[in-house]
Amino acid sequence: DTGVSQDPRHKITKRGQNVTFRCDPISEHNRLYWYRQTLGQGPEFLTYFQNEAQLEKSRLLSDRFSAERPKGSFSTLEIQRTEQGDSAMYLCASSLISDFDSPLHFGNGTRLTVT
């Protein structure tokens, strides 16, 4: 068990550019979550997958955001036409399906800065 890993750890991009982040969950975990955290705030739910199916999306997830988990293993989160308001820490978490109260195992996040 190597934990949840996220890549890259930091990303600086100019407004209008597209960015893609990757998350590798704990191997036996079939639920994968994306959260966004801004300074001084708790994590905000964006979306989650059960295996390869994206089952829930927050209203925070605008049309510029898309997430995939093609083979039910790693996941990618893409932001198109980035805006300064997208600057945040993007956290990925995974859990083992049992019920919705299962604890989340978080990665160390990707910090995005849009200039």
Partner 1 sequence: TQLLEQSPQFLSIQEGENLTVYCNSSSVFSSLQWYRQEPGEGPVLLVTVVTGGEVKKLKRLTFQFGDARKDSSLHITAAQPGDTGLYLCAGSGGGADGLTFGKGTHLIIQP
Among 26, 91, 112, 114, binds partner 1 (CB under 8 A): 91
- The rounded distance, in Å, linking the Cα atoms of 59 and 100 is 20
Smallest gap, in angstroms, from Cβ of residue 80 to partner 1? Answer: 23
Residue 40 interacts with partner 1 (CB under 8 A): yes or no: yes
Pair 110, 9: CB distance under 8 Å: yes
- Bridge partners of 45, per DSSP, are 35
Smallest gap, in angstroms, from Cβ of residue 42 to partner 1? Answer: 3
- The rounded distance, in Å, linking the Cα atoms of 31 and 49 is 6
Main-chain dihedrals φ then ψ at residue 57, nearest 5 degrees: -130, 135
How many residues contact partner 1, by CB under 8 A?
25
Among 26, 107, 112, 114, binds partner 1 (CB under 8 A): 107
Residue 109 interacts with partner 1 (CB under 8 A): yes or no: yes
Smallest gap, in angstroms, from Cβ of residue 81 to partner 1? Answer: 26
Among 24, 43, 69, 77, binds partner 1 (CB under 8 A): 43
- The rounded distance, in Å, linking the Cα atoms of 22 and 41 is 23
Residue 15 half-sphere exposure, CB side, CA atoms within 13 Å? 4
Q: Which residues bind partner 1 (CB under 8 A)?
A: 4, 33, 35, 40-45, 48, 55-56, 58, 91, 93, 99-101, 103-109
